[in-house]
Amino acid sequence: MACGNFNRVDLSHTFDVLVVGGGNAALCAAITAQESGAKVLLLESAPFEFRGGNSRHTRNLRYLHESANDHLTGPYLEEEFWADLLAVTGGQTNEQLARHAIRESKNLGDWMRKRGVFFQPSMRGTLHLARTNAFFLGGGKAMMNAYYATAAKLGVTIIYGAEVRNLEICDGRFVSAEVALYNLPSKVRAKSVIVASGGFQANLEWLKESWGDAADNFLVRGTPYDRGVMLRALLDKGAKPVGDPSQGHCVAIDARAPKYDGGIVTRLDCVSFGIVVNKHARRFYDEGEDFWPKRYAIWGRLVAGQPDQIGYSIIDARSINLFMPSVFPPIEASSIDELASKLDLDPATLNETVSTFNQATRPGTFDSTVMDDCVTEGLEPRKSHWARPLDTPPFYGYPLRPGFTFTYLGVTVDKQARVVMQDDQPAANIFAAGEVMSGNILGKGYMAGLGLTIGTVFGRIAGKEAARYVKQ
């Protein structure tokens, strides 16, 4: 099982539906297509142990529902969903497609439950999502385990370690795929293809096209297998692009995190309680602009804009217990001088930055749960909330790096999840689902659990439509 039984799969056979990818969208597509009577081959480029793409790092999805249930505390209807989406994207969305996705997401939880996914009440610390988002018991990997078990039971042929490197497309029709099975080249024929193989955020060379050498210092929060090979192939073969190719969702995470796959535990929630300095020990942005959950998404880009793409969040003993514990221990020092030398910053400059900041803070009533009145005066950049002097040792430092989560560039699709080509005509037998097309709906910004909504909805649509195409 660990490497897939590809030696027992007859690849000379023409499958009905080829699903490229192994995350949520791919599995939803494969399950739906197989349930609709098609014979499905699913090729996952990761080995068994790392199957599931970035879905293995997720933990909830957002879906339209008219009433509370055992894991959601109240209704979430189309207009509110749409308004939320409009707000985060600033209008960079396709309303028709977005509303279609929202409507199609109705009661997704029931569909998922029937395919083995379990839910739990909202997690502690994420109660603001309790009404809108459904949390999987055990998180995304448990969900993917359930989907893989369901797909296998239905008879989907699954091969791990199978990277699709190119697609043969003739006159806008998919013919075959070039596959590397643990680096052995093969050709796979199928009557239709569903591309659900994610974005390109793990492809540093590609990121460099927009970010330059700074990308060398980026950390990739998720799977190293999302290299955008299929996205590139589709775009090269005439698919119409969507979304800003130079943008990605990028948060500030602990610089000590692994290069890839660090996932949730590398997040740091301490920024708003102290100051953040760059490698020259200077502040560069208002750390207290808004609640952290609303602001963490901009800090990745902020740190990416600093020299050597590094920042340091500095707090003191009064704040150390105010945020979720993180995976790496803080760097601790009894004085600012000592902290500076431990962080490899210039002690004189850091002392100056801290004392200037401390002098600029105005007395207020500190309250981490509201936008409090602890502000700085006459300081540039100012800190507009939670600004308390850093004066209580020990002092703590956390190094920060940009952590890339996903990219926005994708292929355009229509309501049937068909890939739209440069001439604005949909390809008859090429479908896309998940991150490779989520830029149609989420052109900008971030919304918790929406990536999985898009993946599940369009995975199901693609599976159904591909099966229907094959039967014609």
Q: Interface with another protein by CB under 8 A: which residues?
A: 49-50, 56-57, 59, 118, 120-121, 123-125, 135, 137-142, 145, 149, 258, 261, 263-265, 267, 321, 324-327, 329
The Cα 29–Cα 62 span in angstroms is: 18
Which lies closer to another protein via its Cβ, residue 77 or residue 149? 149
The Cα 291–Cα 438 span in angstroms is: 26
Kindly state the smallest distance separating residue 55's Cβ from another protein, in Å.
10
Kindly state the smallest distance separating residue 112's Cβ from another protein, in Å.
14
Q: 398 near 317, Cβ under 8 Å?
A: no
Which lies closer to another protein via its Cβ, residue 57 or residue 191? 57
Which lies closer to another protein via its Cβ, residue 86 or residue 317? 317
Q: From its phi and psi, is residue 217 left (phi > 0), alpha (psi between -120 and 50) or beta?
A: alpha
Kindly state the smallest distance separating residue 136's Cβ from another protein, in Å.
8
Kindly state the smallest distance separating residue 429's Cβ from another protein, in Å.
34
Which lies closer to another protein via its Cβ, residue 201 or residue 353? 201
Which lies closer to another protein via its Cβ, residue 54 or residue 203? 54
Which lies closer to another protein via its Cβ, residue 18 or residue 26? 26
Kindly state the smallest distance separating residue 49's Cβ from another protein, in Å.
5
The Cα 44–Cα 455 span in angstroms is: 16
The Cα 135–Cα 67 span in angstroms is: 16
Kindly state the smallest distance separating residue 153's Cβ from another protein, in Å.
10
Kindly state the smallest distance separating residue 53's Cβ from another protein, in Å.
11
Which lies closer to another protein via its Cβ, residue 159 or residue 253? 253
Which lies closer to another protein via its Cβ, residue 73 or residue 416? 73
Q: 461 near 183, Cβ under 8 Å?
A: no
Kindly state the smallest distance separating residue 5's Cβ from another protein, in Å.
16
The Cα 130–Cα 120 span in angstroms is: 10
